[in-house]
Structures are given as structure tokens and as C-alpha cells.
């Protein structure tokens, strides 16, 4: 399978995922004027929560995504170059996506899909304040820590990683978020948080759970 074909497949996957997110949001909005709610809407006649895997085919090409709790993981094609920016389009911000690479030998690598945030780095060098979303990087670290705990038989490490993730998500849900997430917030916050403010808020939430 060529990289161009894989890119096309992931573009289709990203568009369908964006449609799914939009569909979910629309279906959750309350009916106007307190009209009694009818039966819940479903995706293609199926309860969205009951879907465990999705397979996309185009000629001989195939992409398979599998549900893992409240997340989705692309399991096929294994080892193919993933167009992470296209897939991340479904979540609104590339900074919210972490990649997990699994080798045929069973090795794992957790990384932030966005790579180096060059523009923010240059702003930092100039002494300017930045509002950099570090969620993907946080989840890369917590994912690696949880896997290490699983391999070593140390559940305490996995529990700590889960608390870090909960603190990070709780920070955003409380209205403290970086600039890239503001357009997707409902209701929107009064102001966005700078990088240091965002990290300090996560640290404060984490401290409460330890």
C-alpha cells in the first residue's frame, strides 16, 4: 500500500470522525420549549455507544479503528505511516492527539503527534508569552508510565498516570484552557491561559488527588 493511498484513507477517516462528533453534539442538545424528548438518535440506525469497531474499505485498501474505553485506536494497517494531522482534525486540535507506535516485536513508543511547535518556540526565544497546549505531551508521558507499570507489575505507577490525566482533563473542563481550545469551548472561558498558567492549574488539581 502506497503512502498516498494511506493518506487518502486517513483523510476519509478524519472526515467521517468529524461527522460523528458533530452528530453526537447535535443529538445531545435539549429540545426547544421543553418538548418531551423522543427516542434517542442513532448513527446509521445503531446506538453509537454500542459500536466497538469501524472498518473503512476502498478497493484493496482497509483501515480498521477499534474502541478502547472512551477512545478509538487505529489497528490496521499495522506499521503504515499515519497521517496524524488528518486524524486529529476530528478532535479540533492537533495538540489533543497522542500517537502510540507498536512494533512487530512488541515495543511501544508514546509521542505527541504534533512534533515541535516551532512558532511557539521562536516566540519563547524572543521572550514572548505563549499559550501552548501540552495535553498530547502529557498523555504521551502518562501512556508510557502506565505501560511501564503494566510491564513491571507496579499498579501504583498506572494509578498515578491516571490521576495526572484526570487532573489535566479536569483543568480544561473547569474552564482553564489554552488558546487553541477556546473556539470549541461551550461556554467559552473569559480568557485563555498561557502555557505556565495551564501547567500550574494542572499541577494544583493533581496535588489535590495525591
Report the chain's mean pLDDT, rounded to a whole number.
75
Q: Which CA distances in Å does 174 have to 76, 184, 189, 198?
A: 36, 14, 9, 11
Which residue has better confidence, 56 or 183?
183
Q: What is the mean pLDDT of residues 78-92?
A: 53
Is the per-residue pLDDT at 176 higher than 90? yes
pLDDT at 116: 73
pLDDT tens digit sequence for 104-157: 888 898 888 776 788 888 999 999 999 999 999 999 999 999 999 999 999 999
Is the per-residue pLDDT at 99 higher than 80? no
pTM more than 0.85: no
Give Cβ neighbours of residue 12 (< 8 Å, ≥ 6 apart).
56, 58, 63
pLDDT tens digit sequence for 28-61: 444 444 434 444 444 445 565 677 777 766 555 6
pLDDT at 127: 94
Diameter over CA atoms, the chain: 58
Amino acid at each position: 500500500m502506497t503512502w498516498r493511498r494511506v493518506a487518502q484513507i486517513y483523510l476519509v477517516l478524519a472526515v467521517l470522525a468529524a461527522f460523528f462528533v458533530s452528530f453526537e453534539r447535535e443529538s445531545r442538545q435539549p429540545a426547544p420549549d421543553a418538548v418531551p424528548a423522543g427516542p434517542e438518535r442513532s448513527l446509521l440506525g445503531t446506538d453509537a455507544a454500542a459500536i466497538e469497531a469501524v472498518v473503512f474499505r476502498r478497493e484493496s485498501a482497509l483501515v480498521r479503528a477499534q474502541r478502547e474505553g472512551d477512545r478509538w485506536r487505529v489497528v490496521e494497517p499495522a506499521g503504515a505511516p499515519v497521517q496524524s494531522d488528518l486524524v486529529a482534525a476530528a478532535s479540533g486540535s492537533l495538540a489533543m492527539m497522542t500517537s502510540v507506535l507498536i512494533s512487530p516485536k512488541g515495543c511501544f513508543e508514546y509521542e505527541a503527534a504534533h512534533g515541535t511547535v516551532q512558532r511557539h518556540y521562536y516566540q519563547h526565544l524572543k521572550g514572548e508569552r505563549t499559550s501552548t497546549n501540552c495535553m498530547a505531551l502529557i498523555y504521551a508521558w502518562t501512556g508510557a508510565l502506565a505501560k511501564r507499570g503494566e510491564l513491571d507489575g507496579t499498579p501504583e505507577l498506572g494509578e498515578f498516570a491516571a490521576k495526572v490525566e484526570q487532573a489535566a482533563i479536569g483543568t480544561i473542563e473547569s474552564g482553564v484552557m489554552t488558546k487553541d481550545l477556546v473556539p470549541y469551548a461551550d461556554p467559552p472561558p473569559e480568557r485563555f491561559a498561557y502555557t505556565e498558567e495551564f501547567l500550574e492549574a494542572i499541577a494544583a488539581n493533581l496535588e489535590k488527588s495525591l
